[in-house]
Amino acid sequence: QITLKESGPTLVKPTQTLTLTCAFSGFSLSSSGVAVGWIRQPPGKALEWLALIYWDDDKRYSPSLRSRLTITKDTSKNQVVLTVTNMDSVDTATYYCAHRGAAVGTMDYWGQGTLVTVSS
Amino acid sequence: QSVLTQPPSASGTPGQRVTISCSGSSSNIGSNTVNWYQQLPGTAPKLLIYSDNQRPSGVPDRFSGSKSGTSASLAISGLQSEDEADYYCAAWDDSLNGFVVFGGGTKLTVL
């Protein structure tokens, strides 16, 4: 059974760096083909894909946010970490991590999400 | 502004068939498969359709997907009240080293 859970601060100040952790179980990020991604959703708005990290440490980022995002993995801890620098109010959103399915671009298992508010 | 274009809203009465469209380009839908997600109020998205027209285990066959060229559609037949949700299309985009693009979402109302 695959499960994922996001954790991190619920409130950050403008210009600060956000660090979110995705703890997962039911699969190994060292197995060929496996990947974990991050997606966010501002309140009342659409989903926005952020980043993806593969079992071989290959990474993909949203072109519009690439300069501010870093995704890393700790295979021994079954965790994936996303950092977002220079946070702004427009970054207020629920942040989800998800397991990539076998089909290209598919996210087949999602965490419950964590709401991050950016405010001074 | 989302890369994939969806109508912001759709509606139908119980038992009806509704379709939701998703329009993209040659770098995403035109060259990769389309996935659809259902997001019930206050919950995380759930994979509804993958690889254009495949249903994950547990998804009723009332839900179906199709694709033609750079456009895709989600059809829901035998509409039920519990289908009231937001629906998102998504696809891999081959440009700029590759990334996933989402549609803006369609809010489905069951009248």
- AA identity, residue B86: D
Report the pLDDT value the prediction gives residue B97, as an integer from 0 to 100: 85
Q: Which of A:26-55 have CB within 8 Å of B?
A: 37, 39, 46-49, 52
Record: contact B54-A103, CB cut-off 8 A: yes
Asked whether the predicted pLDDT for residue A14 surpasses 90, the reply is: yes
Q: In whole angstroms, what is the distance from residue B36 CA to residue B55 CA?
A: 10
Asked whether the predicted pLDDT for residue A4 surpasses 90, the reply is: yes
Tell which residue, B13, B6, B19, B12, has the closest CA to residue B74.
B19
User: Which residue out of A47, A59, A66, A109 would a mutagenesis test of the B interface target, given it has the greatest number of B Cβ atoms within 10 Å?
Assistant: A47
Chain A hits for B90, CB-CB cut-off 8 Å, are 47, 49, 105, 107
Shortest Cα–Cα distance, A76 to chain B (Å): 26
Report the pLDDT value the prediction gives residue A35, as an integer from 0 to 100: 96
> What's the mean pLDDT in A7-36?
96
Task: Determine the longest span between alpha carbons in chain B, in angstroms.
Answer: 43
Q: In whole angstroms, what is the distance from residue A41 CA to residue B72 CA?
A: 23
Confidence label for B79 from pLDDT (cuts 50, 70 and 90): very high
Chain A hits for B50, CB-CB cut-off 8 Å, are 101, 103, 106, 108
Query: What sign has the CA pseudo-torsion B9, B46, B27, A103?
Result: negative
* pLDDT tens digits for range B29-78: 999 999 999 999 999 999 999 999 999 999 999 999 999 999 999 999 99
Asked whether the predicted pLDDT for residue A103 surpasses 90, the reply is: no
Contacts of B6 (CB under 8 A, 6+ apart): B20, B21, B22, B23, B87, B88, B89, B103, B104, B105, B106
Tell which residue, A9, A37, A49, has the closest CA to residue A98.
A37
